[in-house]
Chains A and B, each alone.
Chain A
Amino acid sequence: MLSIRNLAKTYAGGVRALRGVSLDIPPGMFGLIGPNGAGKSTLMKILATLLDPDTGTATLDGLDLIANKDATRRLLGYLPQEFGVYPKMSAVDMLNHLAVMKGITKGGERKEVVEGLLQQTNLWDVRKKALGGYSGGMKQRFGIAQALLANPKLIIVDEPTAGLDPAERNRFLNLLSSIGRNVVVILSTHIVADVRELCSRMAIISSGELILEGVPAQAIEAVKGRVWSKVVPTDSEREEIEKALPMISMHRVGGLNEVRVYSETSLGEGFLPVEADLEDVYFRQLSQHRPN
């Protein structure tokens, strides 16, 4: 269990990235969603020992992650949102090197785990090629491989599926969930579907604050039957609805606007009830907490 209590961080420029976030994250996949600049990356960097919070604590099964950076790093698997590679190193050399860094000093074990990861991430055939020649997707897969080295107890993956094609994304998510049963996996993403499919628990943060925390299915349950959809042809009509009703989201469908609104009662006037999904929960929460 990872317990986060009152984490706050204000950057030197005065940006308040986290405003006292508290969370309990049990083993399993935990989805963290929020818009850009919500503080997701700051939270993850703090958990990944790259940043010191101003206040607050984070403990993993009793281990103070902030005070014991070295111990934290030993059980950490981290895939940052943006990262590069040493262009002249090959994947296998680099993974071997990183395995040593993570304390896998027994040669046989190391070979096994490195080869296993290369195969799992489908980099086996290019393992001897220089990382500089890798495409974005391959680089991402390499990033995943390195994050999974040494059976980490705490896995932090920041936007892991960005840049992956759908097949790769599936493979990765399967891999992650197969590993993530007994360890804490924090998956930060803006793809709400990823969370719905994989995560047993989730949290939404916005403007440095936690606005929802819970089980995805329960969250959906809470809005069930209260999401209404209407297709309107013009922008002015859409704007009218936006003014009048608590709008959740708007999609363009075949050149028309599909507007979703939240209402506990039926709205009539062409509004049809729709099956609520996690995205509706997300947008509903965001619109409620939009700083006005």
Chain B
Amino acid sequence: MFKDFFLFELKLRFKSVSTYIFFLLAALIPFFSIAARDFGPIGSGKVFLNSPFAVLLITTQVVAFGSILIAAIFGPAILRDFHGDTYQLIFTKPISKFGYLVGRWAGSMVTAIFVFSGIVFGIALGTLMPWADKLRIAPNDFGMYLRIYASIGIVQIFFLGSLFFCVAALTRNIVVVYLQGVALFAFYLIELVVVVVSNKLERAWASIIDPFGLIMVQSLTRYWTVVERNVVVPHWTGVFLYNRLVWLAAGALALLAAYALFPMSAEVLGSRRSTKKAEEAKADKDSVEHEPRRVRANLPQVAQIFGGATTWKQLLSMTRMRFFNIVREIPFWAITLIMLVFVLISGHFAGNNNGVEVWPVTFLMVSVVSGQSGLFLYIIGVLYAGEVIWRERDVRFEQIHDSLPLPDWTDFVSKFLALAMVETVLASVVLVCGVLSQAISGFFRFEMGHYAKEIYLVYLPQLLMVILLALFLQTVLGNKFLAHALVVGFFISIPTLYAWGIENRLYLYGEITPYTYSDMNGYGHFVKALFWVTAYWICVGGLLGVLAIAFARRGTEQSFGARWKQAGPRMRRLIAAAAAFLLLAGTCGAVFFYNTHVANQFRTAQQNRHRTADYEKLYKKYERLPQPKVTDVDVAVDIFPERRSFAGTGHYMLVNHTDKPINEVHITDSREAVQEVKFNRESKQTLADKDHFYSIYKLDKPLEPNETMKMDFRVGYASRGFKDGNERAEFAYNGTFFDRDYFPTIGYSQNVEIDDPVRRREEQLPPLEEMAPPGDPYYSNINLFTTDSEWVTFHAVVSTSPDQIAIAPGYLKREWTENGRRYFDYSMGDTRINDFFSFLSGRFSVKTDQWKNVKLEIYYQPGHEFNLDKMMDASKTGLDYYEKNFSKYQFDQFRVLEFPRYRQFAQSFPNTVPYSEDIGFIERMKKPDDIDLLYFVTAHELAHQWWGHQLIGSQTQGSNMMSESLAEYSALTVMSKKYGEDMLRKDLRYELDRYLRGRAGETRHEPPLVLVQREPYVWYQKGALVMFALADYIGEDKVNLALRKFLEKNRYATGPFPDTRGFVAALRAETPLELQYVITDMFESIVLYENRAVSATYVETPDKKYKVTLNASSQKKKSDGSGNETPMTIHDLIDVGVFSGTKEHLKRLNLHKEWITQETGTFEFVVDEKPTFAGIDPYNKLIDRDPADNLIEVEKP
């Protein structure tokens, strides 16, 4: 019996074309992930596109998002019998329950396993494609593919399939099966928001209960290095094992439940139907029991009125009916409810910005609630577009409906309006969720205008465009599911087309130009582009709607030919509407085209890369050409914020500090802002390559060694109209911020070069040049930050609109108004600065304060007063600490300036720190131990006034750590003075996480700290970890002493510039002999620890004390730049300790360092309090791949 059902099921499935279509669907994404550029989950770098890691990600993702296919395979296995009422035939026969259920299930299981084996097929096929990136493809390893397919794919199929099968068997309703899939997915999304988006470090539980394995795989592999990603196939251990076991068990339970609860009797199975029958009968009786109370011989005569007013009423009535038909459906409510839960949970985390708590201001909240509800609103829109188009035919009302005296367009328009109403109501609910979430978070500054704009003018139109497309496809195509499939294909195609370099939004249906709301600048300059592109696509959508009306089914002839014939005459009646939409779309498109292609040059990301690559190919040969250096900067800059433009004139003083005469001056103009260059001697422009940012001026009389000359220039940037994305973030109606890049750079600039290795290969560029090693004779004389300058004097006159304040580095000498503009004269006097300056303009409020003789100022957006006091406090505490420990602050002022959130960073210019509105101004400390990012960033940027503006390294490997690592260390120290060591430890744990993830994503090779080149995760995260580890070993005072001595020796160096050899020597000088290994390991190598607390027990001693025994193991490994590890013998001083309290709030009972010389060790402690935890390196001071297992609960033996 089992065999019969099983074979029957298989025969049915393998005869069905859908099985093979599913197979191809499963193969599609894997195929493109390997064969197509920029498609798969693996970014740039050295990880193979078909490495175990890639296969793991692809398999997990395809099976997770292919859950719908699993539902489509397992659901009908049972439901098939109930669809056509064949159950009455089947269950009246003597069949075995086991045979029926298990046969059907097993047949589906085999089918699904076949379908998803398309993944392996797709990967293998992808590797064979001639155009695939062969350099990144390893030989096909089918054993590995299949092992991963078995442990991810087949387990998922078993679990999800059994669950779907169970639900189908018990409810016998396909909608419930799909809803259950949606619910599972929502569960995953919630987990994603709670755990991953808010950057929780503790992932074990989330990984285990992740029903799709996506979070599990992400957490499992997040620290994997290149080598591991290319080699390691996950074993069934740890979190991976538990996750698989949990879901295998869930699948088995679902199967058991299906078997136990499924009634094998036609009577019971039909009972739901017979309930319905009974209802009908009752209604019948109701209707017949009462004979007509008054029977009129004739029906009343009524007046039929047709015309405009009636058409309108018909439209309203039809729309109302369609609207209620949708909102009365259970799936609608199910999706809506899931959406509500999801949106409210996401709203709760709207104020969590990568683990940092901020105020849930409206721009954050509205983007969270609209973003997270989007998926659901699109599903509802597309799903019900299909329902509404086919409604009459599905319920078989079409003959009556189609012969109603309605104009052809009314019906279609009512369908659209009904969907639009549904979406408007839902969008309004989403809006209310946003407001509600703000209120729940205790934030009561509701900006209803902003909500309304975003939800009704930006979000809703996008939904409507997709609905029009779906309605059009549903109308034109003869099949609901085919149309749904095409809409899904449309959703996939858009990001794919972007990835393939089709970025022109005139061709990408429904795509609107990117925009960012900023409290400072509102929707600002994005409004125009948004308006025209939205109007354009709405009109195109309208045109699709008109076509759909022409092709709409009316009457019983369904063939496309017949509909084509009827479309002609209908189109003649619709010609006015079609013409109107065409004209409007044409006009909007023309305006858009003019702005994005005529007023501005349109370039795709790839075209821009070509230019950059050509710059490198053409001019890198001039890199070492002797060039003069800038010694003085004097500029006059006029900012026109309302035009998003500026114009500037000025001059550099140039000096020849080489030993040869200089004949040519080369200029790089990466921002295309330089308009004219003149020297105070005769010269001739011999090259003007505007396309590649380069020009050359030949001097009639060479600039002799040590001779100076003046270079005058004119610069400017004028925004014209709007662009198709890529608007320059530097210019805003309120919040202009641009820097030295808009002024001439002397000589070739490395900063322009492309650094992504895959992009470089695409452009046929050699691998990015390694930085020169410390001590390189040429680069030791070049400063790290500004290749073309020395310490400069600086003077700037800046003007702006009368309601704005303009700022440049320097002391304000004079402020005046002239010709309706506001002028500011800034000068550094004779204090020389790093040639690194910026200009800002905005409608600022200013907060001032004083520290000793230093004037402190914060220029901020009114409304962002949340943290100004803390910012001042960080500045003062920092100045205090840095002056005491390092050297005197070189300026009389320190200013922080807010700029729009188009860019998210803070940057330290001399005595001037532009600071994005996104990263601190709206910070909110919820719990006392939340990390105070604002305090930290302020102290960090202030520290750069020492590390970067006093100490500048040479342009060699490692130098950047002397700026960033030291700023990181200084700022964290200052923060720990205010908030205590607990916060410091918490912060360092995040630094460890980011460092480990950073090295996992390395695209070139990871350097040791003192040889760092372009690896932020090394110079920030590892730098901070290592500096604090050293301070922990030798003491903060010793580290500071080394820093002070090194700074004293090297500050304001003019070349040769210091490098990390001297820095390491300075540290070694303060480090005792037995701890010198710390510097070797941490600064000069990549060393990883694997410390683990194995067990811990305690006994109470007679004198009411507790004796704790800790067993721990320690290993130490050295890694190369790719992640190949070699074991090291351990002889290290490591913390061991015993604590009370909770894991989050440990209270130290005994913490001390022990020399560890063996891989395992036992440690004994006697403490006064009852211990809860014990561990080795419990605070994760050392770099440890699995930091969570260093601590263990202390148990009674």
Residues of A within 8 A of B (CB): 12, 45, 48-52, 70, 73-74, 76, 78-80, 82-89, 93-94, 96-98, 100-106, 109-110, 112-113, 116-117, 119-120, 122-126, 129, 133-135, 137-138, 141, 143, 146, 148, 150-151, 178-179
> Other than the known A84-B396, A119-B294, what 5 A-B pairs have Cβ atoms closer than 8 Å?
A52-B557, A73-B404, A85-B395, A109-B300, A135-B283
> Distance (Å) between the CB of A42 and the closest chain B CB?
9
> Distance (Å) between the CB of A18 and the closest chain B CB?
14
State whether the Cβ of B89 lies closer than 8 Å to any Cβ in chain A: no
Q: A119-B294, A122-B292, A126-B287 known; A101 and B317 CB under 8 Å?
A: yes
Residues of B within 8 A of A123 (CB): 287
> Distance (Å) between the CB of B301 and the closest chain A CB?
6
Residues of B within 8 A of A83 (CB): 396-397, 399-400
Q: A51-B555, A100-B317 known; A135 and B299 CB under 8 Å?
A: no
Residues of A within 8 A of B291 (CB): 122
> Distance (Å) between the CB of A80 and the closest chain B CB?
4
Residues of B within 8 A of A146 (CB): 400
CB of A106 within 8 A of CB of B303, answer yes
CB of B325 within 8 A of CB of A88, answer yes
CB of A50 within 8 A of CB of B293, answer no
CB of A129 within 8 A of CB of B283, answer yes
Q: A73-B405, A74-B405, A86-B325 known; A80 and B400 CB under 8 Å?
A: yes
Q: Which residue on chain A has the smallest CB distance to residue B292?
A: A119
17 CB < 8 A contacts A-B: A12-B559, A12-B561, A45-B555, A50-B402, A74-B304, A88-B329, A98-B400, A98-B404, A106-B302, A109-B300, A113-B300, A120-B292, A122-B288, A133-B276, A133-B279, A138-B283, A179-B298
Chain B residues within 8 Å of chain A by Cβ, number: 59
CB of A101 within 8 A of CB of B302, answer no
Residues of B within 8 A of A78 (CB): 399-400, 403
Residues of A within 8 A of B284 (CB): 135, 137-138
With A and B bound together, what is the CA distance between A83 and B401 in angstroms? 10
> Distance (Å) between the CB of B264 and the closest chain A CB?
29
With A and B bound together, what is the CA distance between A104 and B313 in angstroms? 10
- Which of A87, A100, A119, A179 is the one whose CB lies under 8 Å from B314? A100
State whether the Cβ of B281 lies closer than 8 Å to any Cβ in chain A: yes
With A and B bound together, what is the CA distance between A270 and B780 in angstroms? 132
With A and B bound together, what is the CA distance between A84 and B557 in angstroms? 18
Considering only residues 262-281 of chain B, those with a C-beta below 8 Å from chain A are 276, 279-281
Residues of A within 8 A of B318 (CB): 97, 101
Considering only residues 305-337 of chain B, those with a C-beta below 8 Å from chain A are 305-306, 309-310, 313-314, 317-318, 320-321, 324-325, 328-329
With A and B bound together, what is the CA distance between A200 and B444 in angstroms? 78
5 tightest CB-CB pairs across the interface, nearest first? Answer: A84-B396, A73-B405, A103-B304, A80-B399, A50-B555
Residues of B within 8 A of A120 (CB): 292, 295-296, 299
Residues of B within 8 A of A82 (CB): 396
Residues of B within 8 A of A73 (CB): 403-406
Q: A51-B557, A73-B403, A101-B318 known; A150 and B304 CB under 8 Å?
A: yes
State whether the Cβ of B556 lies closer than 8 Å to any Cβ in chain A: yes
Considering only residues 322-370 of chain B, those with a C-beta below 8 Å from chain A are 324-325, 328-329
CB of A88 within 8 A of CB of B302, answer no
Interface flags, B355-389, vs A, CB<8A=1, else 0: 00000000000000000000000000000000000
State whether the Cβ of B1147 lies closer than 8 Å to any Cβ in chain A: no
> Distance (Å) between the CB of B561 and the closest chain A CB?
8
Residues of B within 8 A of A122 (CB): 287-288, 290-292
With A and B bound together, what is the CA distance between A151 and B303 in angstroms? 9
> Distance (Å) between the CB of B322 and the closest chain A CB?
9
State whether the Cβ of B130 lies closer than 8 Å to any Cβ in chain A: no
State whether the Cβ of B818 lies closer than 8 Å to any Cβ in chain A: no
CB of B555 within 8 A of CB of A116, answer no
With A and B bound together, what is the CA distance between A76 and B290 in angstroms? 30
Q: A86-B397, A103-B305 known; A48 and B403 CB under 8 Å?
A: yes
Residues of B within 8 A of A179 (CB): 298-299
With A and B bound together, what is the CA distance between A63 and B554 in angstroms? 21
CB of A101 within 8 A of CB of B557, answer no
> Distance (Å) between the CB of A69 and the closest chain B CB?
9
With A and B bound together, what is the CA distance between A208 and B306 in angstroms? 36
With A and B bound together, what is the CA distance between A138 and B285 in angstroms? 10
Q: Which residue on chain A has the smallest CB distance to residue B397?
A: A84
CB of B321 within 8 A of CB of A74, answer no
State whether the Cβ of B769 lies closer than 8 Å to any Cβ in chain A: no
Residues of A within 8 A of B292 (CB): 119-120, 122, 124
CB of B391 within 8 A of CB of A116, answer no
State whether the Cβ of B297 lies closer than 8 Å to any Cβ in chain A: yes
State whether the Cβ of B407 lies closer than 8 Å to any Cβ in chain A: yes
Q: A86-B321, A88-B325, A124-B292 known; A102 and B298 CB under 8 Å?
A: no
Residues of B within 8 A of A76 (CB): 403, 405
Q: Which residue on chain A has the smallest CB distance to residue B394?
A: A84
> Distance (Å) between the CB of B293 and the closest chain A CB?
7
Residues of B within 8 A of A135 (CB): 280-281, 283-284
Residues of A within 8 A of B305 (CB): 103-106
Residues of A within 8 A of B301 (CB): 151
Residues of B within 8 A of A133 (CB): 276, 279-280, 283
Q: Which residue on chain A has the smallest CB distance to residue B282?
A: A133
Q: Which residue on chain B has the smallest CB distance to residue A84?
A: B396
With A and B bound together, what is the CA distance between A269 and B589 in angstroms? 91
Residues of A within 8 A of B279 (CB): 133
CB of A119 within 8 A of CB of B299, answer no
With A and B bound together, what is the CA distance between A104 and B309 in angstroms? 11
CB of A125 within 8 A of CB of B290, answer yes
With A and B bound together, what is the CA distance between A138 and B282 in angstroms? 11
State whether the Cβ of B286 lies closer than 8 Å to any Cβ in chain A: yes
Residues of A within 8 A of B320 (CB): 97
Residues of B within 8 A of A102 (CB): 304, 404-405
Residues of A within 8 A of B309 (CB): 105
Q: Which residue on chain A has the smallest CB distance to residue B562?
A: A12
With A and B bound together, what is the CA distance between A85 and B396 in angstroms? 7
Q: Kindly name the residue among B283, B284, B288, B404 whose own CB sees the greatest number of chain A CB atoms within 10 A.
A: B404
With A and B bound together, what is the CA distance between A135 and B283 in angstroms? 8
CB of B406 within 8 A of CB of A104, answer no
CB of B310 within 8 A of CB of A105, answer yes
> Distance (Å) between the CB of B398 and the closest chain A CB?
8
Residues of B within 8 A of A94 (CB): 321
> Distance (Å) between the CB of A253 and the closest chain B CB?
32
Q: Which residue on chain A has the smallest CB distance to residue B558?
A: A12
With A and B bound together, what is the CA distance between A138 and B276 in angstroms? 14
Q: Kindly name the residue among B287, B292, B313, B404 whose own CB sees the greatest number of chain A CB atoms within 10 A.
A: B287
- Which of B296, B302, B328 is the one whose CB lies under 8 Å from A150? B302
Q: Which residue on chain B has the smallest CB distance to residue A12?
A: B559
CB of A103 within 8 A of CB of B283, answer no
Residues of B within 8 A of A89 (CB): 321, 324-325
CB of B406 within 8 A of CB of A116, answer no
CB of B296 within 8 A of CB of A49, answer no
CB of B317 within 8 A of CB of A178, answer no
> Distance (Å) between the CB of A228 and the closest chain B CB?
43
Q: Which residue on chain B has the smallest CB distance to residue A130?
A: B328
CB of B395 within 8 A of CB of A86, answer yes
CB of A110 within 8 A of CB of B399, answer no
Q: A109-B302, A113-B302, A150-B304 known; A85 and B556 CB under 8 Å?
A: no
Residues of A within 8 A of B328 (CB): 88
Residues of A within 8 A of B295 (CB): 119-120
With A and B bound together, what is the CA distance between A146 and B400 in angstroms? 9
Considering only residues 210-242 of chain B, those with a C-beta below 8 Å from chain A are none
With A and B bound together, what is the CA distance between A88 and B559 in angstroms? 30
Residues of B within 8 A of A113 (CB): 299-300, 302
Q: A103-B304, A116-B300 known; A134 and B288 CB under 8 Å?
A: no
Q: Which residue on chain A has the smallest CB distance to residue B306?
A: A103
CB of A151 within 8 A of CB of B299, answer yes
CB of A126 within 8 A of CB of B306, answer no
CB of B403 within 8 A of CB of A178, answer no
> Distance (Å) between the CB of B334 and the closest chain A CB?
16
